[in-house]
Amino acid sequence: MEHKQSLEHSSLPLLSLLRDQDRYGYEMISELERRSDHTFQMKEGTLYPVLKKLEAGGCVTSYPAEANGRTRKYYRITQRGLVQLAQETAAWERYAHGIHSVLGTTPG
């Protein structure tokens, strides 16, 4: 049975995607699913509130740009966003280490 994980309210993967390059919403959804080998999915109804919160917190900025003949809203990570990404990554790594310790498994 195939199981996809929902990433509700998660800024970590979005900030990580934006570290690589500026992206528009649907591109982030597609890239997240592709990079996770279709394990994770994020719907627009989850994505845009997270992006709005990140923008309000100064972690991302947005701007309109033309793509494939359409004007899209692109998002760019800020210096504050890079700091938050580093903090969230470190917290996730501590959490994953703890889970692996409990399970008696090795990461990777």
Domains in the chain: how many in total?
1
Owning domain of residue 25: 5-103
The alpha carbon of 36 is separated from its chain's Cα centroid by a whole number of angstroms, namely 11
Q: Would you say residue 108 lies in a domain?
A: no
Q: Is the pLDDT at 14 greater than 80, yes or no?
A: yes
Contact of 67 with 23, CB cutoff 8 Å:
no
CA dihedral angle for residue 43, residue 46, residue 49, residue 53, rounded to 10 degrees: -120
User: Which residue reads 């845009």 in tokens?
Assistant: 48
pLDDT band at 5 (very low <50, low <70, confident <90, very high): very low
Residue 90 inside a domain? The answer is: yes
Under 8 Å between Cβ of 84 and 15: yes
**Within a domain: 20:** yes
Say if residue 59's pLDDT is above 50. Answer: yes
Residue 68 covered by a domain = yes
User: Residue 82 is part of a domain; what is its CATH number?
Assistant: 1.10.10.10
Structure tokens at 107: 């990461």
Q: What is the pLDDT of residue 85?
A: 95
